[in-house]
Amino acid sequence: MITRRPILIATLGTRPPVVTLAVDMLAEDHGVPVEEVFVIHTSGDRVRDALARLQVEFSEGRYRGRRCLFTPLPILTLRGAAVYDIRSRKDADSAFRTIYRAVRQRKDAGEIVHFSIAGGRNSMVAYGSATAQMLFDADDRLWHIISTEDFERSGRLHRRSRLDAFLAPVPVQSWSEFLHYALDAWSGAEDPLRALEIRRQSVERQADLDCEMFLKELTPAERRVVVDFVAHGGTDREIADRLGRSHRTVGTHLREIYSKMQAFFDYAHAPYRSTLMQQFAGFFDRHPHLNHLP
């Protein structure tokens, strides 16, 4: 049986405890003593000071008496220039690419990824969460750190007691759990922005197939009600006036449509007008020829 090695990836701002706390609490509270830490960071002066302090803690590949490698991962532009801070769209894209690349490389190496998003700019938190959704499997974990104000003010790198701080798990809805049919396409993308576009196209294609199949479940009269409502909106009476039907007939059709939608799309609650509009508006925009059902 092959044992997968757990590693830690952490985003860093100006506070080095976000890294040391994650390492400590993984080992002490969760029984996961990682042997390598990858720290994603910008290159501002205060961040470099935080990095220097961490490098002392992880000197010569050891951490608090045990083996643990420390690998800084600077955020770089496509041309390899260091990003001083995240202040522009270009900086943000560079941060996303660096985070995505770091996680993907560890996943490609067969390792279990523990990812702490407690440090750095809010955009790094957002891109860390997005990357986890894109690449994580069931064994990987996304973490945030909750600590007391007194501990944060102290500047200490390690807890004095477990009351000082704890790791809070961040729920991750992995794409692979509900878009397995497109996993090979996006997981092979080197760039996260390209992977997002592949995912968007995959979701759109599947949604369109579902809508096409559902419309075949409806009677011609019910389909005309769907097409008219999505195109023009309105009350039962307004739909009826446009279709030359009674508002009671349109109401009956809508109730039947909602019932069929709940069964077909497996909605937890009965759908209503807003659900119908949300489900089909984009579909008819992409397939305008279907707006003219007989």
Ordered by where they begin, the domains of the chain are: 6-178 (3.40.50.10770), 217-292 (1.10.10)
- Exposed/middle/buried for residue 63 (C-beta within 10 Å: 0-12, 13-18, 19+): buried
State both tokens at 253.
Answer: 């059709």
Measured at the alpha carbon of residue 170, what is the angle toward residues 96 and 100, in degrees to the nearest 5?
A: 20
pLDDT tens track, the chain, 294 positions:
567 899 999 999 999 999 999 999 999 999 999 999 999 999 999 999 999 999 999 999 999 999 999 999 999 999 999 999 999 999 999 999 999 999 999 998 999 999 999 999 999 999 999 999 888 988 999 999 999 999 999 999 999 999 999 999 999 887 665 555 445 555 556 777 777 677 677 777 888 888 899 999 999 999 999 999 988 988 999 999 999 999 999 999 999 999 999 999 888 888 888 888 888 888 888 888 766 655
Please give the backbone phi and psi of residue 116, each rounded to the nearest 5 degrees, phi first.
-100, 125
Spatial CA neighbour of 172 closest among 92, 122, 113? 113
CA separation for the pair 275, 261 (Å, rounded): 9
Q: Where are the beta strands (DSSP E) in the chain?
A: 6-12, 36-41, 62-63, 66-67, 69-74, 112-116, 141-147, 165-169
The total of other beta-carbon atoms located within 10 Å of residue 241's CB is 14
pLDDT of residue 162: 94
pLDDT of residue 96: 94
